[in-house]
Amino acid sequence: MKDKQYQVVIIGGGTAGITVASKLKRKKLNLKVAIIDPTEHHYYQPVWTLVGAGAFNMQDTIRPEKDYIPKGVDWIKEYAEDIDPENNLVTIKNGDKYSYDYLVVAPGIKIDLSLLDGLTETMDKNNVCSNYTNPEYTWEVLQKTKKGVALFTQAPTPIKCGGAPQKTAYLSADYFRKNGLAKDVKTVLALPGSVIFGVKEFADTLMQVVYRYGMILKFYHKLTKIDAVNKVAHFTLTATDESNCIITVNDDDNVIHEEIVGEAKVTIPYDMLHLAPPQTAPDLVSKSLLAHKEGVNKGWMKVNQFTMQSPDYFNVFGLGDSAALPTAKTGAAVRKQAPVIVENILRLMDSKDILPESKGYNGYSSCPLVTGYGKMLLAEFGYGNKRMSDSLLSTFVDTTKEQYSMWLLKKYGLPILYWNFMLRGKA
């Protein structure tokens, strides 16, 4: 039975959901739009990296959700529990059903601690911290780490803002340096991949940063377990040929006492551990008819990577962290995805064809790589890790090099852009 009928229903009122709703209402004021999201708070997550380094106040990253639901949009304050694209229906937690002409799916990403052995018991405790879950605790742990190993790593699942774990490592290394602790604390960055960054121009600069701080860098380290009692992180080496043993920077004497355990298992004892926890598509998406059922994208929402349209349901679109797209999951990516969806929905309403793929989303994403207090490079790229750059910015600054101006952009400029322009549908 249909309780309510909307022209557009949006699941999720985070970065993506609010941006799409605002843009739709700006283009067509009388549209009947609903956002489904139970949250009281809207979080500006990108500056949690700075919160974790004591350079930004957590409270300033949180605002009431009600202040950002666009005027004239109905806010359904509940979890969406089921999507039935065959009948154009969304069921929410209390059982109510809402029907739609067009559906936009944007419930973000699910952090699932249970996917990593030993993590649930120790997350945000015992010096195990994460800017993804509690950046204030990261700052607390950082300040009390005076010696030993500060280990930075990530779960081997897709994660939002793939650069965030290494930004924290650089800021922490800078913190230890500034406070005269660099001799006593070894900063270790252990990554599952084979390169520090997928785009060469930025990777070159980041390797210089690693050397500058005397960090120990490990590749092919797939995190498998955290033993919080003994403060040891367990990894398997994903490339077991001889060469992977050579890919290590600044640790020829094994000063951090890494041990090879068995054929391809490695343990690293730590005093401070920062990690990106395991992340998956929300259950709502993965159990629905909209998800990939097989392959590397299993569970994530199936969309055409240019038009953002479901290949199976013409009136369903997906964007943001829950969409299966071969690019980095960031708010910056959402800013470029949202206008494509808005344009395509309005075209379909006017009985026109959607935008051709060539005029759709090009995979743009960006990662503000903070490399220390007052230093940042801005990595912008698209599908195929092709470097892209904002034409205005790149006229004035070389964004592949560390810049103070980019730090100012991150700390002051981007939050203003986010709250006042992007969420208002103006950017």
Ligand X SMILES: Cc1cc2nc3c(=O)[nH]c(=O)nc-3n(C[C@H](O)[C@H](O)[C@H](O)COP(=O)(O)OP(=O)(O)OC[C@H]3O[C@@H](n4cnc5c(N)ncnc54)[C@H](O)[C@@H]3O)c2cc1C
Catalytic residues: 161, 367
Range in contact with ligand X (rule: CB under 6 A) among 31-39, 170-178, 223-231, 337-345: 31-39
Binding mask 67-96 for ligand X (x = CB under 6 A): ------------xx----------------
User: Is there binding between residue 162 and ligand X (CB under 6 A)?
Assistant: no
| C-alpha 46: how far from chain center | 8
Do the beta carbons of residue 175 and residue 152 sit within 8 Å? no
User: Would you call 223 helix, strand, or coil by DSSP?
Assistant: strand
**Residue of 151, 164, 226, 324 interacting with ligand X (CB under 6 A):** 164
Q: Which is nearer to ligand X, 160 or 234 (CB)?
A: 160
Q: Which long-range contacts (CB under 8 A, 24 or more apart) does 162-165 make?
A: 162/328, 162/329, 162/367, 163/197, 163/328, 163/367, 163/368, 163/369, 163/379, 164/48, 164/49, 164/131, 164/132, 164/276, 165/189, 165/191, 165/274, 165/275, 165/276
| C-alpha 292: how far from chain center | 20
**Residue of 8, 20, 33, 37 interacting with ligand X (CB under 6 A):** 37
User: Would you call 388 helix, strand, or coil by DSSP?
Assistant: coil
User: Would you call 392 helix, strand, or coil by DSSP?
Assistant: helix
Do the beta carbons of residue 153 and residue 191 sit within 8 Å? yes
Q: How far is the CB of 175 from ligand X (least distance, A)?
A: 17
Q: How many residues does the chain have?
A: 427
Do the beta carbons of residue 279 and residue 112 sit within 8 Å? yes
User: Is there binding between residue 423 and ligand X (CB under 6 A)?
Assistant: no
Tokens of 134: 């509690």
Cβ-based neighbour number of residue 368 at 10 Å:
25
User: Is there binding between residue 49 and ligand X (CB under 6 A)?
Assistant: yes
Q: How far is the CB of 333 from ligand X (least distance, A)?
A: 7
Return the DSSP state at 323: B
**Residue of 9, 69, 149, 161 interacting with ligand X (CB under 6 A):** 161
User: Is there binding between residue 105 and ligand X (CB under 6 A)?
Assistant: no
**Phi, psi of 89, rounded to the nearest 5 degrees:** -130, 140
Q: Which is nearer to ligand X, 192 or 320 (CB)?
A: 320
Binding mask 381-410 for ligand X (x = CB under 6 A): ------------------------------
Do the beta carbons of residue 223 and residue 116 sit within 8 Å? yes
DSSP 294-316: SSTTTTSBP--TTT-B-SS-TTE
Q: Which is nearer to ligand X, 12 or 85 (CB)?
A: 12
User: Is there binding between residue 363 and ligand X (CB under 6 A)?
Assistant: no
User: Is there binding between residue 330 and ligand X (CB under 6 A)?
Assistant: yes
Q: How far is the CB of 182 from ligand X (least distance, A)?
A: 24
Range in contact with ligand X (rule: CB under 6 A) among 11-19, 24-32, 113-121, 220-228: 11-19
User: Is there binding between residue 334 and ligand X (CB under 6 A)?
Assistant: yes
Please give the residue whose beta carbon sits closest to ligand X in the complex: 14
User: Is there binding between residue 53 and ligand X (CB under 6 A)?
Assistant: no
- Per CB under 6 A, residues contacting ligand X are 11-17, 36-37, 39, 45-46, 48-49, 79-80, 106-108, 131-132, 160-161, 164, 282, 284, 320-321, 329-332, 334, 368
